[in-house]
């Protein structure tokens, strides 16, 4: 189904019949993607009076309890409250869910003992395009990103100048296929998070960071209409399901 959508001063033609899901789901057990030194999520039926509440065990319904951490166990979207003493709930701060997005592919550069994404790389990839959201796919882009155990791997991250470039460009929503925009071990500085939300100035309360996405290789770089779906948790972060729709005309 082709739809024409008015977005600001633009009219966008998109194909709603071809959604591109770039989320990583939460699943029970060790095959789930993981970071931050905790165990895997659990999705298990409750037990009452020695009876397992599962249809396969003879119950009339399935009644699972889910134990997980949104930052560790799959695609999640977070707000300023992730790094502030004051509570900012993603469910209250994110009030719009459709954005014009640019998908870019970046090969992280070597920097000392790290792999990083620099402002120079982002300037080259984005150019003069004005987008509300930037979706970063890093290469190599193997399917094991959906099950990888990231703890103690020193994953690629964005240098502070890269984040500052995005803020200057007016990007409100940053999506990346790593566990964090910051270095795994940085002494708690979180330079990228702080720069993106401008914690030293007027805080960007309506800006979000989405981590642990997976952009398949058959999704081309370019302009998309993003539907950033979140679960309604009153928390600094929530599991999310970003969906891309290719922009056919703009």
Could you report the per-residue pLDDT of 114-131, keeping only the tens digit for each? 999 999 999 999 999 999
Residue 105: CA count within 13 A, CB half-sphere: 12
How far, in Å, are 211, 214, 231 from residue 217 at the CA level? 18, 9, 26
Kindly provide the b/e burial profile for residues 170-180, where b requires at least 16 CB atoms within 10 angstroms of the residue's own CB: ebbbbbbbbbb
Per-chain mean pLDDT for the chain: 96
The string of pLDDT tens digits covering residues 156-203 is 999 999 999 999 999 999 999 999 999 999 999 999 999 999 999 999
Residue with the larger pLDDT of the pair 7 and 239: 239
- Give the pLDDT score at 35: 98
**What value does the mean pLDDT take over residues 139-148?**
97
pLDDT at residue 144, as a whole number: 97
Extents of the domains making up the chain = 2-25+70-249
In angstroms, the CA 114 to CA 65 distance is 39
Paired with 67 in beta bridges are 42
**pLDDT band at 250; cut points 50, 70, 90:** low
Instruction: Work out the average pLDDT over 65-88.
Output: 97
Confidence of residue 23 (pLDDT cuts 50, 70, 90): very high
Does the structure show a pLDDT above 80 at 249?
no
What is the rounded CA–CA span in Å between residue 192 and residue 171?
Answer: 14
SS3 assignment, position 102: strand
Architecture of the domain defined by 2-25+70-249: 3-Layer(bba) Sandwich (3.50)
Read off the pTM.
0.96
Residue of 187 and 249 predicted with greater confidence: 187
Helix (H, G, I), strand (E, B) or coil at 119: helix
Distance between CA 38 and CA 158 in Å, rounded?
A: 24
The SS3 assignment for 38 reads coil
Residue holding tokens 């979706």?
Answer: 135
Distance from C-alpha of 191 to C-alpha of 162, rounded to nearest angstrom: 11
Token duo for residue 231: 């679960």
Give 100's pLDDT tier (boundaries 50, 70, 90). Answer: very high
Percent of the chain with pLDDT over 70: 99
| DSSP 3-state of 149 | strand
Cα→Cα distances 62→40, 53, 54, 72, Å: 21, 6, 4, 26
Give kind and range of the element (H or E) at residue 191. helix 191-197
């Amino acid at each position: 189904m082709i739809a024409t959508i008015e977005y600001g001063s633009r009219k966008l033609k998109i194909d709603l019949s071809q959604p591109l899901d770039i989320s990583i789901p939460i699943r029970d057990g060790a095959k789930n993607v993981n970071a931050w030194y905790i165990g895997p999520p659990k999705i298990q039926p409750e037990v009452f009076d020695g009876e397992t509440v599962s249809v396969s065990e003879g119950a009339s319904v399935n009644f699972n309890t889910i134990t997980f951490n949104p930052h560790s166990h799959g695609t999640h979207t977070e707000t300023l409250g992730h790094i502030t003493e004051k509570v900012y709930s993603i469910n209250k701060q994110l009030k719009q869910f459709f954005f014009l997005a640019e998908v870019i592919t970046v090969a992280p550069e070597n920097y000392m003992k790290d792999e990083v994404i620099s402002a120079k790389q982002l300037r080259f990839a984005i150019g003069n395009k004005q987008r509300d959201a930037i979706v970063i796919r890093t290469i190599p882009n193997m399917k094991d990103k959906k099950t990888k155990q990231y703890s103690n791997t020193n994953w690629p991250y964005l240098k502070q100048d890269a984040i500052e470039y995005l803020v200057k460009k007016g990007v409100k929503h940053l999506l990346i296929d790593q566990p964090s925009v910051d270095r795994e071990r940085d002494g708690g500085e979180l330079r990228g998070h702080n720069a993106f939300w401008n914690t030293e100035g007027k805080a960007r309360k309506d800006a979000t960071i989405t981590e642990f996405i997976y952009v398949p290789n058959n999704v081309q770089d370019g302009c998309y209409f993003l539907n950033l779906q979140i679960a309604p948790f009153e928390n600094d972060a929530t599991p999310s399901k970003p969906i891309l729709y290719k922009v056919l005309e703009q």
